[in-house]
A and B are shown apart, each in its own frame.
Chain A
Amino acid sequence: MNKYEFLYKLNQGMENSSAKERQEIAKYYDELIQDAIDNGENEADFIEKLGSIDKIIRTIRTDRDFVTNVREKKDYQLKNVFSVSVKILGYLALGIIIFTLGTVGFSLVTSGGSMMIFSGIKLYYAVITGLSWGTILMHAGTISLGLGLLLIGLWIFKWLIRESRNQLEKLMEFISSKIKKEGE
């Protein structure tokens, strides 16, 4: 049997395989036989040495399960990497949110607090010096506004502490599970 007959028969025997696989195997054997010929081996003898085409196909088929397993494992690893990067991005976004809300909370508390203090002082003077009711009412209004802002700020802080602690615990769990997995 010459190379072309061999490749033709091999291709015929692999009817159930994908075109890509058939092409790849044909290339492998084509190259192998050509290399043997270039190395001074007799074409027919070398092909004889390759064994029966049925056996060649059987060997490839037996190994297909392994190929599928490795592919699945790769997909799994890929999914894992993907979920890790999504988690990292999630924590980054959470960090930004916490920082922004913290800044807003801080400015609300300080501005609300200072509004209350200064308007309180102004109100005190207004009452003592006997200023108009309008002025007194305005200062009293500013104090309530300050109190409102202060309360909103404090509420944001409370929420932030509770949430960030929860998220931090989740993050620690996630990191420790990763470390454990690496160690296995």
Chain B
Amino acid sequence: MDTQLKKGFLELLVLASLKVTASYGYRIIQDVSKVMEISESTLYPILKRLELQNYVVTYTEEYNSRLRRYYQITTLGLQRLKDTRQEFDELIKVYDYIMN
């Protein structure tokens, strides 16, 4: 898949993986890679992007006597996911046009 297109999808997938509960780097990779291949080094910039756009907030929690950083989706992030519906409808139109 095209790198830019994949990047866009990955951002949404990461965001979607946080929809139910806050998560941390390693688990996000495991969840997302069930749907699309994601490398550990790609996740960092994606999380940074999401944080900068206020789609996620972070907090640290102790786990096994070390600190672990959790990512939690914000209302803005949830709204972003909702907005993708419309984007996907447009995408389907493009797909139909290309294929027919």
Contacts and interface: CB of A to CB of B under 8 A. Distances in A.
Chain A partners chain B: yes
A55 B45 CA distance: 13
Contacts of B24: 31, 35
A67 B40 contact: no
A59 B26 contact: no
Instruction: Report whether over half of chain A's contact residues are helix, strand or loop; otherwise say mixed.
Output: helix
Contacts of A5: none
Contacts of B27: 35
Nearest to B42: A59
Interface residues of B, number: 20
The 10 closest A-B pairs by CB, nearest first: A35-B26, A63-B45, A56-B41, A70-B52, A32-B25, A50-B40, A59-B41, A28-B44, A32-B26, A51-B41
A25 interface: yes
B48 interface: yes
A27 B60 CA distance: 11
A107 B90 CA distance: 65
26 contacts: A25-B44, A29-B40, A31-B24, A31-B26, A31-B67, A31-B69, A32-B25, A32-B29, A35-B25, A36-B26, A38-B64, A49-B40, A50-B40, A51-B41, A55-B41, A56-B41, A59-B41, A59-B45, A60-B44, A62-B45, A63-B45, A66-B45, A67-B48, A67-B49, A70-B53, A74-B52
Interface of B: 24-27, 29, 39-42, 44-45, 48-49, 52-53, 64, 66-69
A27 B69 contact: yes
Contacts of B41: 50-51, 55-56, 59
B66 A28 contact: no
Nearest to A52: B41
A121 to B, nearest CB: 72
Given A36-B26, A39-B26, A51-B39, A31 B45 contact: no
